[in-house]
Amino acid sequence: MLGPVTGPRRPGISRRLVSLLAGLALAGTALSGASPAQARGSGGTGSSQGCQSANGDATCISGVYFTGPGGTAVTTTGGTSTDGQIPGCWYEPSKISPEFLKIAFLIPLVNLVIVGLTGGDTGTDGDFHAGQKGAWWEFVFNPAMSLPDAQAHCDIVGPILEWVPAAAPPPQEHVETWKMAGAARNEINLTAPTLTLRPGANNQIVNLPTLVSFTNPFPRTWVTARLNVDGYALAATTIATPVSITVNAGTPNASPSSCTYTLAPAGGNYQVDPNSTHCSDGSTGPNAGIVYRRPTNGTTYPLTATVTWNVTWTDTDNPDSPPQTGYTFAPLTLDTPATPVTVNEVETVNH
């Protein structure tokens, strides 16, 4: 398990400065002739780098954007953190150029803001390294997290803008492919399967095994994270592969009370391998299943299933590239909605 980035927290920026920075950004866009940065969550067609206000602080969002299978855009809605594995922030190359900073520095009061953003690094004679080989790197938040989650997982020492010469290493907490893969993990959309019971959910029988099948296949899915800022390009793809599903009876009045089914490749998707069924009482095989020992007597038992996906990642935009092993991510799980089960008792007459 990877831990969060640690260190003194970066101070926030006032809302007034947010407006000032927005004006600077628009001026910089006009100077450079570049198109405005896209807003967070606008899809997978370009950078989402930009600043917004949260609780009175300015928060600059990473330029990483996401696409799913087939290159379809993934709408970023702000996920939740995952076990502290994924940093909430990092440094990445900025769209802000030395030339823009040099011109903006001539504006009264704005120059004081810029000095604060760069930690006092104004280059040589206030040129902000214009004409030098290198780039300004910007402190940004993980676009796959909600801002509160990102801020909770983010503690970085350093200015908001940091100059990095071409021959020098990037800032210590710079963007890396494993961090982008972690962000992509938060964007994976999992779908719960539909359960079919035999006998049916409304007509289960005491002491008769409940056989479970699934009407829809389990697809492998993935999300690719990309970053491309003025030629600095990275990509990472996180893949979720379904491996098993565990069905739980929803009551202690069952033996076995749960069974786990292994999922195997079939026709491009994954389906249950009935021969690999393993139940909590040690029973196995295609005829193994949950057995209810008592009737519901006017109530129901909430039968549920938990699907598990193994998570791997590549340092490319191809989900079929060799998986990386330097960093690993915990499996993803999803619980199906509860299926109300009615269990009846069949009376027999012995002669």
How many Å apart are CA 333 and CA 54, to the nearest integer? 31
pLDDT at 10: 39
Q: Whose CA is closest to 292, among 240, 257, 245, 243?
A: 257
Q: In terms of pLDDT, which residue wins out, 83 or 317? A: 317
Cβ neighbours for 265, distance < 8 A, ≥ 6 positions apart: none
- Compute the average pLDDT of residues 83-88: 77
Q: Is the peptide bond before 8 cis (omega within 30 degrees of 0)?
A: no
User: Residue 106: pLDDT above 60?
Assistant: yes
Which residue shows structure tokens 């769209």? Answer: 95
Vertex 238: Cα angle to 268 and 312 (nearest 5): 80
Residue 333 forms beta bridges with which residues?
308
Q: If DSSP states are collapsed to H, E and C, what string results for 220-268?
A: CEEEEEEEEECCEEEEEEEEEEEEEEEEECCCCCECCCEEEEEEEEECC
Q: Whose CA is closest to 211, among 259, 153, 173, 140?
A: 259
pLDDT at 205: 93
How many Å apart are CA 142 and CA 132, to the nearest integer? 29
pLDDT in tens, 312-346: 999 999 999 999 998 999 999 999 899 999 999 87
Cβ neighbours for 112, distance < 8 A, ≥ 6 positions apart: none
User: Residue 92: pLDDT above 80?
Assistant: yes
pLDDT at 206: 94
pLDDT at 82: 64
Helix (H, G, I), strand (E, B) or coil at 298: coil
Q: In terms of pLDDT, which residue wins out, 221 or 56? A: 221
pLDDT in tens, 164-198: 999 999 999 999 999 999 999 999 988 887 888 88
Q: Whose CA is closest to 87, among 189, 177, 18?
A: 177
Alpha helices in the chain (DSSP H): 15-32, 98-104, 110-117, 147-152, 177-185
Residue 29 in contact with residue 35, Cβ under 8 Å? yes
- Token pair recorded at residue 216: 């829809």
How many Å apart are CA 221 and CA 226, to the nearest integer? 17
Residue 263 in contact with residue 310, Cβ under 8 Å? no
pLDDT in tens, 244-272: 999 999 999 999 999 999 999 988 889 88
Q: In terms of pLDDT, which residue wins out, 190 or 85? A: 190
Helix (H, G, I), strand (E, B) or coil at 112: helix
pLDDT at 305: 92
- Token pair recorded at residue 265: 């490749």
pLDDT in tens, 266-291: 888 898 887 889 999 999 988 888 99
Residue type, 271: Q
Vertex 88: Cα angle to 328 and 72 (nearest 5): 70
pLDDT at 64: 94
Q: How confident is the model at residue 3 (pLDDT cuts 50, 70, 90)?
A: very low
- Compute the average pLDDT of residues 196-214: 87
Q: Does an H or E element contain 205, and which?
A: strand 204-205
Residue 303 in contact with residue 325, Cβ under 8 Å? no
pLDDT in tens, 145-170: 888 888 888 878 788 899 999 999 99
User: Residue 307: pLDDT above 60?
Assistant: yes
User: Residue 17: pLDDT above 70?
Assistant: no
How many Å apart are CA 210 and CA 247, to the nearest integer? 10
Residue 211 forms beta bridges with which residues?
198
Mean pLDDT value across the chain: 81
pLDDT at 212: 80
- Token pair recorded at residue 202: 């409304």
